[in-house]
Each structure stands twice: as structure tokens, then as C-alpha cells.
Amino acid sequence: MALSISAVVLFGILTVVLMRGRHVSVGSALVLFLFGFFIAGTGAYKPIHDACQAIASTLAHLIA
């Protein structure tokens, strides 16, 4: 049985953990959120998305 988790959920959980551990301030988390939000609307989205897909595919093949 394969477990699939969205990158958004994964990074959201990571952000909450880092904020609760006081490793990242609320301001830093907001800046990173806005950076991700605005980069999604640029031409950089496609190469970044393709790279993430390739990494996820490679990891899936290594685990399976």
C-alpha cells in the first residue's frame, strides 16, 4: 500500500513544526509563504515543478 502526501501538506507541517520549535519566526514563515505563492505565478513554476516530480518519482522507485 502506497501512501501519497501532497507537498503542500508536507511543507505546511514542516513550517508548523519549525515555528513551534522557535527555529523560524512568524515573519520568516510569512515571507517564505509569500515567496512560494508568488513564484507559482511566474515562469519558474514549470522547471521547479518538474524537478520536484522527478525527485518524487526517483524516491518512489527506490522505495518500491
Cα–Cα distance for residue pair 47/43, rounded to 1 Å: 8
pLDDT of 41-52, one tens digit each? 778 778 888 998
Question: What pLDDT is recorded for position 3?
Answer: 63
User: Is the distance from CB of 19 to CB of 29 less than 8 angstroms?
Assistant: yes
pLDDT of 11-35, one tens digit each? 778 878 888 888 888 888 887 887 7
What is the Cα 53 distance to its own chain's centre? 12
